[in-house]
Amino acid sequence: MRPKLIPGMVLAFSGAIAASGSREATPKNDLSCKVFPLKATLGIDLRFHSGFDVAVPFREIEGAGNNLTIRFHVTPKDHGRPPVAFAQRIDVPPIKMRYGGDVKLRGTFDLGEGTYHIDWQMQDRGGRSCSNSWDVEAALGAKERQIEVALPRDTVRYTREDPFAPEPFIRRRPDESRANVKILVNLEPQNPKATALHPLDTAWLVSIVRSIARNAHIGKLSLTAVNIRAQTVFYRQAYSDRIDFPALGRAVKTSSFGTIESNRLARRHGEAEFLTKVIRDETKDDSHPDALIFVGPKILMESNISQRDLSTMGEIDYPVFLLNYNRAWQAAPGDSIGRVVKFFDGREYTISSPRDLWNSVTEMTDRISQAKQARASGGL
């Protein structure tokens, strides 16, 4: 069934990137619309996100059906780089009743640092068009200067809709000082009442893992993905130069996080027993990691891992960290994983912004590198 447009409805899309080409002839601007440029803001994925909102009066598109084609070029203003072209077509279903108000559309694209010029045009099936142009600057704030943006300067890319898209290959030079780390990520919602991962939860948690994997101090990584509430390990990856994000995404999409088997519910200490087993599995193998990193939201289990169980895990001669995801600045009554990290004299970081992410990963990996050097020299 084709979608029905209603007043005030927002149709969001990310323009599919196309080959750069010649610009269209100067439009007649005989189609009524209003374009609202969006500022470039740094996302948790450390890419600048920009774009536009456009409002089209319903009276302009009512009738037996129509389509709107949006084309725009984004041109870096420095270094003479060529424009990058985007295009998207929106099919408009038949509208038989006269509505007031507007149909609202949104388009987005991603940027590296720099200043860009946008030439924008929308055309309907009858050839009517409207156009606009503007500049946008993607710049780090005074307190963000140390952040390394994920896209190079003067770079334009389409907005990545899949958070599990492959990470570009990073060629790492052989270096014995690089650390091999274990990542244990608890992929579950920040809201304890939610039964499914919100897209923002997924984007933030995956972005944290990506930032660890990109860091220059990191050599190889292993990844174990769990859902503590569901008491499930749904993905494991052995040590590798890179995280297989598409495989992780497939595992997430086929997992039923909101479903907990009845026999697990019957166990009073099920969550604590599950987490205890996972930690033992991660710390009792022969891989000798340089650090164990927990990633996830704060979680308060029905019962915590007992001191006795923690003490039986043996001595861990490498640092332990927790990157605590808290995108909504929500207060939490406690944190069961934080308690485990504290037992091992670990360090906890709270991530609520892109700057938090960059600073936390940078400090953490510096500490990991220093600890590895100290062990190699007999200092630990």
Average pLDDT over the chain, rounded to whole? Answer: 84
- Architecture per CATH, domain 10-158, reads as Sandwich (2.60)
What integer pLDDT is reported at residue 15 of this predicted model? 40
Whether residue 293 contacts residue 321, with contact meaning beta carbons closer than 8 Å, is answered with yes
Closest CA to 321 of 198, 218, 202: 218
For 100-148, the pLDDT digits (tens) are 788 888 899 999 999 999 999 999 988 999 999 999 999 999 999 999 9
Domain extents for the chain? 10-158, 179-376
Cα 50 from Cα 262, distance rounded (Å): 46
- Architecture per CATH, domain 179-376, reads as 3-Layer(aba) Sandwich (3.40)
- Rounded mean pLDDT, 338-351: 92
For 14-31, the pLDDT digits (tens) are 343 333 344 444 556 889
What's the pLDDT band for 187 if we cut at 50, 70, 90? very high
For 37-72, the pLDDT digits (tens) are 999 999 999 999 999 999 988 888 877 778 889 999
Higher pLDDT pick, 197 / 185: 185
Whole-angstrom CA distances from 154 to 72, 81, 137, 139, 174 are 17, 8, 10, 11, 30
What's the pLDDT band for 11 if we cut at 50, 70, 90? very low
Q: Which residues contact 110 (CB under 8 A, 6 or more apart)?
A: 47, 48, 49, 50, 151, 156, 157, 158, 159, 160
What's the pLDDT band for 93 if we cut at 50, 70, 90? confident
